[in-house]
Structure 1
């Protein structure tokens, strides 16, 4: 009986010691994890980044500069400025590749694009929300942004009349605001060099005017009506008309009020400080 009692007592003590060791080990592991999290939270990080979008410069001859400022460990604000000087649409590197692949040499769309020149200025304001444990502007993120766009277009428009072809140089200026979302990943190498890759899109409204001052006094009333219909068809989407045109002896005038739809993509290189 005494031996059995001693064995039971010894077994209880062993179980108590084992349970105690397990609890101590778990406590140590939790403490280590908490310490790692605290170390990550307290790790120093740079709060300012300046970047240039190399992708836009190479693909569209568009120069985009941005400044990013950390507002907290994982939230930042990005202010951006984009400018593109006047270029033929068909001569932009990305568009040139698309046109060569999609259209024949004598395709009407290709010929139209050869006659369009565009210039663009845009301003972006963006809030980024970074994911993951590491502090600072690094890792995967999603963002919401607003974009103001000012676009100028020169279009050497041609209209085939009954007896002659009319060349109408149309100049337009359109301004709009849009909101959008994007996703991306930002890497910080050697605590200084920044690589930012992102993709997103926006939707909004744009308004503007377009004028083509030229002598159309020789046009018949029917030709003027056909010219008006032809111009308005340029900005008609799903039977919804976004361009209202008027034709007179002095030329053409158009008012645009429609959607502003666009994509944003970038491969940016920057410096953190």
Structure 2
């Protein structure tokens, strides 16, 4: 038995050795395959992507026109045009102390009837006269007052046809707005003549006169048969004066005749209706 057992064990031993070798070889083969697969399927580590740097050559820069903007500097505004000098609040006064402007239309004895241009004659002013009115027997001797402010442009003493007369120039700057609406142009003045006076108070050319200032009394000097106030108003070039004026009489000097024609028919002094000025403000 024992010998038989030995014979049996040897083949078993060889079988065991063979199995061991077989399993060893298989294990090595499996390890080799596994290693190959790992090697074949391993993904190499990804490297960091390269940093892209934009590089522009001059040719790639779009063409663009350059614009230059000047430095803005605050410029002060020019001064406003000076406001025009306001017209003074000048009162338009009645030429007669005892008669209001509203009553003047009641005592007009001869109205404004100018002649054709370049001719003398007709009536180039307005006459005021009355009897037994306003508490007086006659207009003779009544106080005369300036209808507008200004300065003396003429003083005439007992010369035909105006007799004793006073002329007052009112420059444009002293003319009330209502009177300026009569189209008094720049460089022009209003000239107001008070004629047939009994007395004249101002005594100097250029003397300043205020509105409503007493300047004389009503008379009948010159070409006047009865007491009345003859009022003429003309528009003429500013700053004109008359030393005297006379006409239709033998002793009138050439200078007086020339002054009369200059005032009456030259066209340089435009006659206007005194009532238009006296009632320019609607009163």
TM tier, smaller:
under 0.3
**The structure with more radius of gyration:** 2
More strand by share: 1
Normalised by the length of structure 2, the TM-score is 0.23
More helix by share: 1
